[in-house]
Structure 1
Amino acid sequence: MNSHGQYEQQVVWAVVGTDIGPLLLAATREGLVNVVFHAGDAVREKALERLASRLGAEPVEDPGSPLLTEAIRQLQAYFSGERHGFELPLDWSLISGFNRQVLRELASGVPYGTVVGYGDLAERVGQPGAAQAVGAAMGSNPLPVVVPCHRVVESDGGLGGFGGGLETKRKLLALEGVLPQPLF
């Protein structure tokens, strides 16, 4: 028998089709732990290997897991325009320190249909001048879409970078009514 605290970490995953392509969702007992863009076979394999090594457990495909079912339901409602925020337990264990602080502020303080500059976000966590570090935090966001790093843009109106690719960022901002719908 495992002693308490040594129990097997359970990681479940599923892939959901969305307007921005397939998303891999992974969850632990704590909550949703990872969302991965463009989750075709190769990307999925790599993401699952990374999760196994980071979380110390082999992820198991289980789209029927209650946690994933709810995450999938909320994501589908978001993409169909019916939901403007996520109410899901999140597991922040893939990220720590400054990056976690910035992402938590983003999750709680930058609502649907709004955007924030990298520098503004740095100021909000008490680190004015750390705009580049904020950019790095966005790049390492393990929970994109749910933790809305697509809402962080450059102060001059540029889109800034995006782990999922600028086309994806543009589509998400268009969905939220921040940008005109892409023409192509």
Structure 2
Amino acid sequence: MISKREKPTVNASSMADIAFLLLIFFLVSTRISTEKGFAMSLPPKKEQQTSPTPALDRDVLRISLNSENKILFKSDEIGTVAEVEERVKTHLMNYNKDEKYSQNPQKAVVVLSSQRQTDYNFYIQVLDKIKAGYHKARADFLTKKLGVKYTPLEVIDFAQQKTQEEKELYQLLQKEFPINILEQKN
């Protein structure tokens, strides 16, 4: 006579508890990266809405990026990424000398427009050059005004406002050279 043996079974109730605990552990300990794109500091929200003053055409430097990663200045002059920084600096530091560029830095605006098919890395390169042009113009302004040589990197560090002097220089730069970059998508 063949005896029927019971097949051994594993108690699965504790397995569900272990799986649940592991799931909670991984959910709590996993760092989900949400950092995409690039950081831009926005101006503080104003309580009162003021209508923007209309800009003259000469106060606006238009930089257009097309789908073939080519740059157009003022919609008709073809340029390169290397030229962007110097064009922005010239536009800002014009002080009403040349009618093609802005009257003064407070009124100057840089408009960066791009097509939907523009390469992201190319767009970021051009945006970095625009900001570098602003920092270079700010450094030249401080050098001329104070008689002390400033570099663009020092000007960038003023934004941290570690000392009272840096805070005052930063406020001066914000007043004399506001960064006015308008981004448009076509």
Larger radius of gyration: 2
- Whether these two folds match at TM > 0.5 is no
TM-score by length of 1: 0.27
TM-score by length of 2: 0.27
